[in-house]
Amino acid sequence: MTRNVGIVGGGHTRWGDRDATYKDLIQEAGKATFEDVPDVGPEDVEGLFVGSVQPERFAFQTHVAPMVAELIGVDVDTMIARTELACASGQAALRYAWLAIAAGQLDVALVLGAEKMNLPEAHGGEAQASMTNVMDREFDGVNGLNAPPYFAMVAQRHMHEYGTTREQLATVSAKNKSHAAHNEFAQFQREVTVDDVLDSYPLSPPLCLFDCSGITDGAAGLLLMSEEKAREVTDEATYITGSGQACFASNSVNNLPSMSGWPQATTAAENAYEQAGIDDPVKDLDVAEIHDCFSISEIVEYEDLGWVEKGEGGQFVEDGRSELDGDIGVNPRGGLLGCGHPLGATGVSQALELHRQFRGEVPDERSVPDPETGLIHNLSGSASVHSVMVLERGRP
């Protein structure tokens, strides 16, 4: 028999090119998380799950979960782990904490995602070299296929097959970056227009600089509890009602099932929708944080998450259907394009954003009207793995 699991609070560091160390970021996020839930302290935590992608390369530190426990004063007596699933590492940590509580192994878990990607000048090439590791380094990496060239190929193919336009890509970025202008934690805090995106530096055609997420330092945390425990702390918990993941035996680019779509996302979403009782995602979802590591990603995700037919993603954003007051308010915190993308922290931050949207704790300028149900989505590697989670406001 499974149990309902609620998010009762969380905390966030400022994201960007920070002078802070990996340890500093962990302590900032841990402190902010416990301050958000005054009735819960480190002594209450039974399980700790840390999402972190490449601390061995970025922070020159392995075995980070016990280090996190030490830094924030948590004595773990039941379960502790670090999760690594490239850009979905934070959601993986959240998923495992949810499953552990649902299975009755824990009552209280702390999830923390962290990444320190900007390194001292002496190691300036480390981040870019390390990013090749999330692809198939031996086959794809040697051919220059880190993230921008891969997603540029996806954009080229999508434009060729479906007529998606450069302006539609730029509309995604302008929307999300403008949301981030009202997010105190975001790396990039300025209003951006479609023309600004189109005029930004050409990086990997058709993608320009503003079509790409940043190299980012940052951390975020969440506190999860069984429903019984959560109701002792708050009447405004956010409940996890569904989750799905899919990977179709592909990692290297040459084995991917498509260059213009991600059927793995469709499978993951359908599994999450079925668990959560969602029949029509466009009608049933109010808010979503989806993985816009590049502007084309969000357009493909509109389609493969089942919101529109294949090839209609560009029109979805052009018609304003992903605006805050549209069919689904997409990436109100600013997404990866506006907030930046500290790999292991992104999925945690997405879930925290939905929790705060449900509680009305975000600025009016980026608030989705009266949200009840939301979704978070991450892709990882060469988009070979997709992770989807459905969250609901105040009720299991």
Q: How many domains, in total, are found in the chain? A: 1
In a domain, 118, yes or no: yes
Q: Which residues are CB-contacts of 323 (< 8 A; sequence separation ≥ 6)? A: 175, 329
The C-alpha atoms of residue 396 and residue 394 are separated, in whole angstroms, by 7
Q: Which CATH number goes with the domain that contains 58?
A: 3.40.47.10
In a domain, 207, yes or no: no
The C-alpha atoms of residue 44 and residue 93 are separated, in whole angstroms, by 19
Q: Write out the residue range of the structural domain in which residue 9 sits.
A: 5-122+215-233
In a domain, 330, yes or no: no
Q: Cis (ω within 30 of 0) for the bond into 371? A: no
What is the full DSSP assignment across 258-308?
-SS--HHHHHHHHHHHHHHT-S-HHHH--EEE---SBHHHHHHHHHHTTSS
**Residue among 65, 112, 110, 147 at smallest CA distance from 349:** 112
In a domain, 151, yes or no: no
In a domain, 55, yes or no: yes
Which residues are tagged catalytic? 87, 341
240 token code pair: 């996890």
In a domain, 372, yes or no: no
Amino acid present at 104 = G
In a domain, 197, yes or no: no
The residues pairing with 83 across neighbouring beta strands, listed in sequence order, are 51
Residuewise pLDDT in 10s, the chain (396 residues): 589 999 999 999 999 999 999 999 999 999 999 999 999 999 999 999 999 999 998 888 999 999 999 999 999 999 999 999 999 999 999 999 999 999 999 999 999 999 999 987 545 566 667 777 777 777 777 777 788 999 999 999 999 999 999 999 999 999 999 999 999 999 999 999 999 999 999 999 999 999 999 999 999 999 999 999 999 999 999 999 999 999 987 777 878 888 999 999 999 999 999 999 999 999 999 999 999 999 999 999 999 999 999 999 999 999 999 999 999 999 999 999 999 999 999 999 999 999 999 999 999 999 999 999 999 999 998 899 999 999 999 865
User: Checking DSSP bridges between strand 287-289 and strand 385-393, what pairing results, if any?
Assistant: unpaired
∠ CA 26-30-36, rounded to 5°: 150
The residues pairing with 113 across neighbouring beta strands, listed in sequence order, are 51, 220
In a domain, 396, yes or no: no
The C-alpha atoms of residue 396 and residue 233 are separated, in whole angstroms, by 15
The residue assigned the tokens 């969250």 is 391
Strands (E) located in 92-182: 108-115
Amino acid present at 18 = R
Burial annotation 87-125 (CB, 10 A radius, 16+ → b, else e): bbbbbbbbbbbbebbbeeebbbbbbbbbbbbbbeeeeee
